[in-house]
Amino acid sequence: MKGYNVLMVYNKEMDKLLMCERLKDPYKGLRNLVGGKIEKGETGSEAAYRELAEETTISKEDITLHHLMDFTYHHQNCYVEVYAGRLNRDVPVSGDENILYWSGLDHNFFDTSLYAGEGNIGHMIEQVNHVRDRLFSGD
């Protein structure tokens, strides 16, 4: 089964979420979260930090990622691990895989004409909101 990750990176104030505009399929032209593949021999956490650094230049020293949830797609033979974290300081982000930007949280992330993932981004944000204080209490 192939493994992937999705990374929910909040700014220090927790009022913005790092997003990207997809430059290639799947979801070309739609807004999405950053993430990527879990390579053979990597733990999910190792892959999450590696993908974060590769796609955004954010390092493990800048953020603590928390394993939030998983999605398993049995008929597509893959799973997705979802990680959420809050930056501990302002960090410039850059990457060449997609167009990166900070999004406010006042959008309809369930809108599949704008956001990738069939509404999953909205669902993940709601889950973070339910456990936000507990999740980021030690950050």
Tell which CATH classification among 3.90.79.10, 3.30.360.10, 3.40.50.620, 3.40.50.720 matches the domain 2-135.
3.90.79.10
Query: pLDDT tens-digit profile of 53-104?
Result: 999 999 999 999 999 999 999 999 999 999 999 999 999 999 888 999 999 9
Q: Tokens representing 68? A: 């939030």
As a residue count, the chain comes to 139
Among residues 65, 55, 2, 3, which one has the least CA distance to residue 32? Answer: 55
Neighbours of 43 (CB within 10 A): 11
Produce one character per residue of 88-115: b if its CB has 16 or more CB atoms within 10 Å, e if not. Answer: eeebebebeebebeeeeeebebbebeeb
Query: pLDDT tens-digit profile of 9-64?
Result: 999 999 999 999 999 998 999 999 999 999 999 999 999 999 999 999 999 999 99
pTM of the model: 0.96
Report whether 116 contacts 27 (CB < 8 A): yes
